[in-house]
Chains A and B, each alone.
Chain A
Amino acid sequence: MEVWNYFQNNQSDVLHWLWNNAWLAGVPLVVGFLLALPLGYLAFRYRWIYPPTVTATGLLYTIPSLALFILLPGVLHTKILNPLNVAVALTIYTLALLVRVVADALNAVPEEARNTATAMGYTPRQRLLGIELPLAVPVIAAGLRVAAVSNVSLVSVAAIIGVPQLGQLFTAGFQTFSNAPILLGLILVILLAFAFDAVILLIARALTPWQRIAQAR
């Protein structure tokens, strides 16, 4: 197992890169999500905000990641090798994806549930936190999973601009034209993506106990 040998020989580097990759993908995911919740709610609550939001986020989305990694230092006045550029770029992507998802998820809450809550005397705030958001969890979680997986894999592109993470294994493999580091990188990136995916799934499951009851019947 060439791949295993490579891992053994470079264990400390690889684990360091894996850790960097995890936080470079994870922190933007959390920050982007926390920013997307209020923005998505506004786009849901005030309809006129929705079309410009979708257009603007769609536009952000079309910008290729490598271009964004390189343009951000000019805007943020950071150094080009600063990992912060990557984190900010991924936060922007996460936010762009999730604002729309949150708005759509809140929109998809059945009208009857909303009306029932109102009839039971829920204030709009109680209704949002107690009824609408919980019912929107599955759709929001689906969006989060897409964002998480794409974040993990986008981080590796940043190896081109020299930010140390798992993408380093790809550039190392290219420089020496050897398969082992590339395969190791592919395996670790995919495993990391699955790990993020599993965490989101578990949290979503814990937040929506009624879905399991419905399935059991």
Chain B
Amino acid sequence: MDTSLSFANVIKWLNDPANWQGADGVIARLGQQVYYAIIAVAIAVVIAIPLGLVIGHTGRGVVVVAGMANALRAIPTFGLLIYLVVLISPKIHSRGDLPYLLPTEIVLVLLAIPPILTSTYSGVQNVDLDVRDAAKGMGMTGSQVVRKVELPNALPLVLSGTRSATLQVIATATVAAYVTLGGLGRYLVDGLSQLNDPHAGYPAMAAGAILVALLAIVADLLFAIAQRFLVPRGVSGRFPSAAKAAAPTSVSAGPVEVTVGPS
């Protein structure tokens, strides 16, 4: 087994147009990976943001949700993925990859919900009490306060939670190649069984790994850009006067900064 691998082989692999086209080409695999990730993050966002807004607004259920989010973090994603695949896929009689796709998407959604949920409600709870009172004093109804005051103010945290969730989903979708799903993870898993192959072996694995890492970095960048355009200027502090005001609070150990481990 020769893993005294030169990166020249990896570059050569990436430069070979044949590796980019066709059903198992990079373009198709990248498309699958993005597709898996978008479905999962979209479902998680639809569930977690409204729920987080309600929890943050009412202050109810914080302890339960925080506890569950913490407990979920201790569950190894790889194990959970395989558990659900073994549990669910024999029950689905369908062609195509649905028997594997469905349990994978369930795991991805389960993973994506806690960071979005916790960041949403802590974002809402972080909104200055004076600001909330002022909104009420102006005669806003509860739902108006949520939509016009709490959500915009919580947006930086909501986005950063969604960003963590997306990165986690991309990483786990890669691992899902092990349960015969498509996506860029295929190169990583398939290469292993033919490690000595000078083409489909380690060069393909390393190329796949680089592409996965690039995908994650691009997704990260997109969220940074989204943050820039979606967050109102008054909240992000891109006014000269407000720039300093918000900074020191994010240092405290509380639920302000939602720490999510690597994936």
Any A CB within 8 A of the CB of B206:
yes
CB-based contact B75/A190 at 8 Å:
yes
Any B CB within 8 A of the CB of A183:
yes
Cα(A156)–Cα(B77), bound, Å? 9
- Min CB gap B13→A, angstroms: 12
For window 36-90 of A, CB contacts with B under 8 Å fall at 58-59, 61-68, 70-71, 73-74, 77-80
CB-based contact B79/A156 at 8 Å:
yes
Interchain residue pairs with CB less than 8 A apart (24): A62-B217, A64-B216, A64-B263, A66-B188, A67-B213, A73-B5, A73-B202, A79-B3, A80-B202, A146-B73, A146-B261, A153-B75, A153-B77, A153-B78, A154-B261, A157-B175, A160-B178, A173-B82, A185-B76, A186-B79, A186-B83, A189-B74, A190-B76, A197-B74
CB-based contact A170/B174 at 8 Å:
no
Using Cβ atoms and an 8 Å threshold, which residues of chain B touch A156? 76, 78-79
Contact with B along A105-121 (1 / 0, CB 8 A): 10110000000000000
Of B73, B79, B262, the residue contacting A170 (CB under 8 A) is: B79
- Give the size of the chain A interface in residues (CB under 8 angstroms): 62
Secondary structure at the A interface, as helix, strand, loop or mixed, is helix
Instruction: Give 8 nearest A-B pairs by CB, closest first.
Output: A150-B261, A64-B171, A67-B209, A153-B76, A193-B74, A93-B262, A62-B216, A70-B209
CB-based contact B75/A186 at 8 Å:
yes
Of A104, A147, A160, A173, the residue contacting B192 (CB under 8 A) is: A160
Give A contacts to B, CB under 8 Å: 58-59, 61-68, 70-71, 73-74, 77-80, 93, 96-97, 101, 104-105, 107-108, 138-139, 142-143, 146-147, 149-154, 156-157, 159-162, 167, 169-171, 173-174, 177-179, 182-183, 185-186, 189-190, 193-194, 197
Secondary structure at the B interface, as helix, strand, loop or mixed, is helix
- Min CB gap A208→B, angstroms: 13
- Min CB gap B4→A, angstroms: 6
Of A58, A147, A197, the residue contacting B261 (CB under 8 A) is: A147
CB-based contact B251/A104 at 8 Å:
yes
CB-based contact B79/A66 at 8 Å:
no
For window 236-263 of B, CB contacts with A under 8 Å fall at 251-253, 257, 259-263
Which of A74, A150, A197: most chain B CB closer than 10 A?
A74
Also in contact, A179 and B78, with CB within 8 A (given A62-B217, A64-B174, A64-B212)? no
Any A CB within 8 A of the CB of B45:
no
Any A CB within 8 A of the CB of B167:
yes
- Min CB gap A113→B, angstroms: 15
Using Cβ atoms and an 8 Å threshold, which residues of chain A touch B171? 64-67
CB-based contact A67/B175 at 8 Å:
no
Any A CB within 8 A of the CB of B108:
no
Cα(A67)–Cα(B183), bound, Å? 13
Using Cβ atoms and an 8 Å threshold, which residues of chain B touch A146? 73, 259-261
Cα(A138)–Cα(B10), bound, Å? 44
